[in-house]
């Protein structure tokens, strides 16, 4: 035991607790880094040792070198990496943004107003189980292979979780909180605005996170089927030319962009739901 326990001043105590916390943070950060390094080492080992032939698995450095090179080199798919990334992001953000703007308010209204729910629900229940990629053929007929077509498919992928979560979230509004609003003389719409929506925010954000994951996944699928640019298209071209390094680099970029987008959404969530953290 610590012999200073009896005589510890407040400052010492604060310092001790802070040190312990810092140590824990440091340890978990180190473990995360070790995890990534371990993964890269295993990959490098498998590639260099020849356990998996180089035709099927490129080594880490090769992929990294290609990543740098692709910022200026248009070969073999006809565009540099930033163009592909921007093309994908543009589609993802258009489709996802539209899904958030339409899906979340719709979910709120359906969750709050019974009549509207009865009216909308059958249509929604039919649309809901349709896999987003199955819209692709129809979309190509309607909108071609441009931004609008891909955004439309992404929209469907992101729309469903947005709606379901904001719907469920607002349905879970506590009766007593609604009653607080009512006894303050508020109208049903005011209670919706001041009580229902804020109390649905936790669920709504969970929906947004699912939606961005769906959107990103569907986007790549859409680009592989109906596109002439974007990360999905780049991967597909890599396969056609037998360029495993290009495929792997594309996959990694998609993964890392997904992490960045999630982090941005978490940031927004911390602002909106900041009261939870305190």
Partner 1 sequence: MDEKKKVILRLENICQSYVVQNGVKDAVENVSLEIYDNEFLVILGPGHCGKTVLMNMIAGLEKPVGGKIFLDGEEIHGSDRRIGMVFQSMNLMPWRTVMGNVEFGLELAGVKKAERRAVAQKYIDLVGLTGFENSYPHELSGGMKQRVGIARAYTNNPQILLMDEPFGALDAQTRYAMEEEVLRIWEQEKRTIIFVTNNIEEAVYLADRIVLLSNCPATVKQVYDLSGLPKPRNMTDPAFLKIRSEVSANTDLAL
Tell me the two tokens of residue 124: 């929604």
With CB under 8 A as the contact rule, the residue among 42, 61, 101, 184 that binds partner 1 is 184
Binding to partner 1 by residue 177, rule CB under 8 A? yes
Binding to partner 1 by residue 98, rule CB under 8 A? no
Least separation, in Å, of the C-beta of 277 and partner 1? 10
How many chain residues are in contact with partner 1, going by CB under 8 A? 21
Binding to partner 1 by residue 186, rule CB under 8 A? yes
Binding to partner 1 by residue 148, rule CB under 8 A? no
Tell me the two tokens of residue 57: 């698995």
Binding to partner 1 by residue 273, rule CB under 8 A? yes
Tell me, rounded to whole angstroms, the distance of Cα 72 from its chain centroid.
28
Residues 104-123 interacting with partner 1 (rule: CB under 8 A): none
Least separation, in Å, of the C-beta of 275 and partner 1? 5
DSSP state of 52: S
* Contact predicate 221/133, CB 8 Å: yes
- The residue written with tokens 């916390």 in the block is 21
Binding to partner 1 by residue 50, rule CB under 8 A? no
Peptide bond into 76 cis (omega under 30): yes
At 130 the three-state DSSP class reads coil
Binding to partner 1 by residue 185, rule CB under 8 A? yes
Binding to partner 1 by residue 179, rule CB under 8 A? yes
Binding to partner 1 by residue 198, rule CB under 8 A? yes
Q: Which stretch binds partner 1 (CB under 8 A): 17-25, 85-93, 98-106, 197-205?
A: 197-205
* Contact predicate 75/133, CB 8 Å: no
Least separation, in Å, of the C-beta of 13 and partner 1? 21
Taking alpha carbons only, the member of 87, 62, 83, 94 closest to residue 252 is 62
Taking alpha carbons only, the member of 189, 221, 235 closest to residue 92 is 221
The whole-angstrom separation of Cα 26 and Cα 18 is: 12
Q: Which stretches of the chain bind partner 1, using CB under 8 A? A: 174, 176-177, 179-186, 190, 194-195, 198-199, 201, 273, 275-276, 278
């Amino acid at each position: 035991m610590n012999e200073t326990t009896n005589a510890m001043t407040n400052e010492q105590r604060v310092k001790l607790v802070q040190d312990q916390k810092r140590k824990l943070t440091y340890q978990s950060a180190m473990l995360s880094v070790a995890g990534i390094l371990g993964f890269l080492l295993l990959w490098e080992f498998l590639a260099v040792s020849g356990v998996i032939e180089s035709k099927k698995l490129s080594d880490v450095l090769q992929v990294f070198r290609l990543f740098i090179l692709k910022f200026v080199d248009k070969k073999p798919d006809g565009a540099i990496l930033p163009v592909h990334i921007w093309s994908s992001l543009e589609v993802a953000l258009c489709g996802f943004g539209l899904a958030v703007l339409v899906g979340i308010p719709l979910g709120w209204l359906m969750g709050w107003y019974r009549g509207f729910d009865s009216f909308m629900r059958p249509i929604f229940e039919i649309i809901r189980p349709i896999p987003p990629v199955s819209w692709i053929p129809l979309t190509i007929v309607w909108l071609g292979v441009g931004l609008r077509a891909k955004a439309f498919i992404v929209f469907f992928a992101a729309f469903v979780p947005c709606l379901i979560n904001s719907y469920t979230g607002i349905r879970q509004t506590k009766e007593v909180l609604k009653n607080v609003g009512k006894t303050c003389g508020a109208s049903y719409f005011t209670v919706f605005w001041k009580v229902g929506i804020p109390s649905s925010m936790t669920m709504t954000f969970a929906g947004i996170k699912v939606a961005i994951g769906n959107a990103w996944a569907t986007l790549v699928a859409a680009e592989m089927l109906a596109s002439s640019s974007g990360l999905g298209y780049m991967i597909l071209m890599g396969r056609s030319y037998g360029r495993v390094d290009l495929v792997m680099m594309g996959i990694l970029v998609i993964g890392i962009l997904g992490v960045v987008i999630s982090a941005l959404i978490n940031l927004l969530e911390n602002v909106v739901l900041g009261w939870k953290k305190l």
